Amino acid sequence: MADKADRDARGRVVAAATDGACSGNPGPGGWGALLRFEDGSVEEFGGSDPATTNNRMELQAALAVLERLKELPRHPDLRLRTDSKYLIDGLGSWMAGWKRKGWKTAAGKPVLNQDLWQALDRARLPDVPLAYVKGHSGDPDNDRVDQIAVAFSRGERPVLGASGSAPAAGASAPSALEEAPAPASLQRLLSRLELADRLAQGGYGLTAVELAQLVEQPLARLQDRDGPWRWRDWWVEPLEEGRRWRLQRAEAGSEQN
């Protein structure tokens, strides 16, 4: 009952991201994942494997998120964001052919990572499409899951965002890194501020879900706003009757009319 109450309080999942990492490829690997909820809360989890590949860690991360999402209410705009074209192409293009050929490639060889592909095929959710995001491009959620995956691949135990319920099977519980260069919360904030600057300079428009992810505010709160408002060093301006938003760098001491 308590778990259900926590889920209800957090609202729907509005964003999801995964990443995998491996040292040596093959070698020790790790994966990381996060979910964002309408109330602004974040759930992070991850795991490791002492002998694996980067591709297997990418698939394991996606599998863990999909299995977790089955238990949670999901926003209709939810996408599972990943920098793995291997994952996207496998689920979106290659799998149908593999299955027709009895899980063989066009060359007649057994499909690599077949166990994880078959598990992903069973776990996929029709309402949660995959979306590609370029790795190491300043995207805050991609950067964060990369940090989690790399830490696990190195045998470290990263500090993970609080979850409202038990993490996915195989995930590791939170525990502090002994010599972290900076608190995880500060690292995430710096990444978000850098991204905000790039968005403002480029004049890009953001959906309400993307803006909620950036400013870490509940989606419902953003949908209630009908005019410009200030977030840290930027003005947030509504476009298209509030369906999209744009950031504009605020001058020191300025107030918008």
For the segment 111-150, what is each residue's pLDDT rounded down to a tens digit? 999 999 999 999 999 999 999 999 888 889 999 999 999 9
- Is 83 annotated in the active site? yes
How high is the pLDDT of residue 170? Answer: 43
110 bridge partner residues: 104
Query: Using one digit for the tens of pLDDT, what is the confidence trace for 2-54?
Result: 456 556 689 999 999 999 999 888 999 999 999 999 998 999 999 999 999 99
Q: How confident is the model at residue 63 (pLDDT cuts 50, 70, 90)?
A: very high
How high is the pLDDT of residue 184? Answer: 55
State yes or no: pLDDT of 110 exceeds 90: yes
- Is 43 annotated in the active site? no
Catalytic entry in 38, 49, 58, 139: 58
Once rounded to an integer, what is the mean pLDDT over residues 93-108?
A: 93
Distance, in Å, from the CA atom of 150 to the CA atom of 94, rounded to the nearest integer, reads 28
- Is 67 annotated in the active site? no
- Is 136 annotated in the active site? yes
The reply to whether omega before 26 is within 30° of 0 (cis) is yes
Q: Closest Cα to residue 60, out of 39, 94, 41, 86?
A: 86
Backbone torsions φ then ψ of 88, nearest 5 degrees: -65, -45
Distance, in Å, from the CA atom of 40 to the CA atom of 37, rounded to the nearest integer, reads 5
How high is the pLDDT of residue 48? Answer: 94
The residue type of 87 is L
How high is the pLDDT of residue 72? Answer: 97
How high is the pLDDT of residue 4? Answer: 62
Distance, in Å, from the CA atom of 151 to the CA atom of 159, rounded to the nearest integer, reads 10
Q: Are 30 and 20 in contact (CB under 8 A)?
A: yes
**Domain locations along the chain:** 2-178, 186-249
State yes or no: pLDDT of 153 exceeds 90: yes
- Is 156 annotated in the active site? no
Catalytic entry in 102, 127, 136, 253: 136
- Is 38 annotated in the active site? no
Q: Closest Cα to residue 160, out of 143, 178, 176?
A: 176
Catalytic entry in 11, 32, 146, 161: 146
How high is the pLDDT of residue 244? Answer: 85
45 bridge partner residues: 33
Distance, in Å, from the CA atom of 87 to the CA atom of 97, rounded to the nearest integer, reads 15
How high is the pLDDT of residue 187? Answer: 58
How high is the pLDDT of residue 174? Answer: 39
Homologous superfamily of domain range 2-178? Ribonuclease H-like superfamily/Ribonuclease H (3.30.420.10)
Catalytic entry in 20, 40, 46, 90: 20
Residue bearing the bigger pLDDT, 32 or 187: 32
Average pLDDT over the chain, rounded to whole? 84
How high is the pLDDT of residue 217? Answer: 82
Helix (H, G, I), strand (E, B) or coil at 230: strand
Say which range, 81-90, 99-108, 181-190, has the weakest mean pLDDT.
181-190
How high is the pLDDT of residue 188? Answer: 62
Q: Are 31 and 64 in contact (CB under 8 A)?
A: yes
How high is the pLDDT of residue 199? Answer: 82
State yes or no: pLDDT of 166 exceeds 60: no
Catalytic entry in 38, 43, 83, 141: 83
Query: Using one digit for the tens of pLDDT, what is the confidence trace for 214-247?
Result: 888 888 888 778 888 898 888 999 887 667 889 8
Q: How confident is the model at residue 1 (pLDDT cuts 50, 70, 90)?
A: very low
How high is the pLDDT of residue 239? Answer: 86
Q: What residues contact 128, with CB distance under 8 A and at least 6 apart?
A: 16, 66, 69, 74, 78, 79, 80
User: What pTM did the predictor assign?
Assistant: 0.68
Here the tokens at position 180 are 């972290």
State yes or no: pLDDT of 171 exceeds 60: no
